[in-house]
Structure 1
């Protein structure tokens, strides 16, 4: 049985993928290109660590046994890579529980200053499309989870983008960021603005924005924060984070291209 390992930097967590099976090379050969912007060798010494186990084998019984053991196993390589990206993300989020705010959001940063806009939204509601559309020329921070400290410092997570194979499909293809013209930030990244995405097909005209009151902002964000209860004084700290960036704004829009002025013009608290 073939075996190999590949490590990535996922929000400052060293996540190691351990791959076994007679088709292990099909996975290992794809990972360096997909995770090119998340090199583990750039991590500081002694980072948090996590492991994800993958089995890719022609024998179906081996795959079923792997699934029963909580490992990642799929018959098709592309399907396996999709699930693997999800598992790497979850492993990193779990390792950071209680340490950072973990917002379910896309994030892009000014390449010169590192000032970043985070766009909070549930899965499947526009985060990856926003990054694909607006990300070239900016620093691609993440399309999935923004790990941000109380001092607004962000740990980038420029993971592969999971792009739907067809509208409405649950199946996605993992795509290297560089293939879409995306590059990782080259310096420190700091949260500058928080947006709650509200994409509507029937919206007409330019985007409209609405500033939440402080309590409403916390209520809206709690639904899109991982491991919130693991933080010390979680609601107070979340409220302080929102206040530090001038509040949470809902932006209602139809097409991602319409959001570019938000990045160009910034936010006036």
Structure 2
């Protein structure tokens, strides 16, 4: 990695993504302020350990829209082979750090679930749940991508949305495969999965899993650490709160 020169280091915005410090270089003071606002919950003083992500689009909204996946890719590349990284939201009980990982494909409800439940539970990520071999779920407090108007999603910091964050250690306690069905009636349906079926469902929703030593064994170990995996069928994100309360042992 080429080191930042002195002027770049002073101007760079450092953000933390599951332990990776990614420097962001904005092309204008206005864009830098927008980055600081959107990424305020992920800011860190740590030294960078990846190449910088440069943002130089003149339109601030477009720049922020494209920045989030660029930072994510940079961090995922840096942790390849070290962590199990799932396409998942991660929400933790604020008192105990017990964490539910909600696995789902892109565009199928992770951000909505995070935004809805993150006022009760701690928001760790709405996109990438990065888990170490001991079951520690590392935070990635990126902005949430909110659909407002037009083709670009607005990037909003978790705390701006009223979501909870924490610096305490959070550990995997529940592994859930989300299945949103708008026609589902009644309470969410929580169905236990056989480990082989859980692996088949979860492995495709991962990044660099083959780079992890003994990847399927590692994933199976995490599933067992969580007490098994469950398929969670539901209609609306608000309906998931009581399920997570029961699974994480959170107080009412």
Question: What TM-score, normalized by structure 1, do the two folds share?
Answer: 0.85
| Alpha-carbon offset, residue 115 of structure 1 | 0.6
Match of 1:121 in 2: 104
Question: What TM-score, normalized by structure 2, do the two folds share?
Answer: 0.90
CA contact (8 A) 1:162 1:175 kept: yes
Matches within 5 A, 1:59-98: 76-98=59-81
Match of 1:7 in 2: 14
CA RMSD of aligned residues (A): 1.8
The answer to which of 31-40 and 216-225 deviates more is 31-40
Query: Could you tell me how far apart the structure 2 residues matched to 1:12 and 1:49 are?
Result: 11
Structure 2 vs 1, CA of residues 180 and 51 (structure 1 numbering), >3 Å: closer, same or farther?
A: same
- Structure 1 stretches of at least 4 aligned residues deviating more than 3 Å after TM superposition: none
Aligned length: 241
CA distances 1:185-205 after superposition (whole Å, capped 9, x unpaired):
231110110101100111111
Query: Could you tell me how far apart the structure 1 residues matched to 2:168 and 2:126 are?
Result: 18
Structure 2 vs 1, CA of residues 52 and 213 (structure 1 numbering), >3 Å: closer, same or farther?
A: same
| Alpha-carbon offset, residue 26 of structure 1 | 2.3
CA contact (8 A) 2:61 2:152 kept: no
Matches within 5 A, 1:21-60: 24-41=28-45, 43=46, 48-57=49-58
Query: Could you tell me how far apart the structure 2 residues matched to 1:107 and 1:170 are?
Result: 26
Match of 1:188 in 2: 169
Query: Could you tell me how far apart the structure 1 residues matched to 2:80 and 2:176 are?
Result: 23
CA contact (8 A) 1:50 1:92 kept: no
| Alpha-carbon offset, residue 183 of structure 1 | 2.4
Whichever of the two has the greater Rg, that structure is 1
Query: Could you tell me how far apart the structure 1 residues matched to 2:247 and 2:120 are?
Result: 16
Structure 2 vs 1, CA of residues 267 and 136 (structure 1 numbering), >3 Å: closer, same or farther?
A: closer
| Alpha-carbon offset, residue 51 of structure 1 | 1.7
| Alpha-carbon offset, residue 267 of structure 1 | 6.3
Match of 2:201 in 1: 220
| Alpha-carbon offset, residue 18 of structure 1 | 1.6
| Alpha-carbon offset, residue 47 of structure 1 | 6.8
* 2:237 paired with 1:259: no
The answer to which structure, 1 or 2, has the higher relative contact order (CA under 8 A, 6+ apart) is 2
For 1:229, which of 207, 210, 215 is the aligned residue? 210
Structure 2 vs 1, CA of residues 267 and 35 (structure 1 numbering), >3 Å: closer, same or farther?
A: closer
Match of 2:160 in 1: 179
CA contact (8 A) 2:122 2:164 kept: yes
Structure 2 vs 1, CA of residues 242 and 48 (structure 1 numbering), >3 Å: closer, same or farther?
A: farther
SS in structure 2 opposite 1:14?
strand
Q: Unpaired segments of 5 or more residues in structure 1?
A: 58-75
SS in structure 2 opposite 1:239?
helix
| Alpha-carbon offset, residue 240 of structure 1 | 1.0
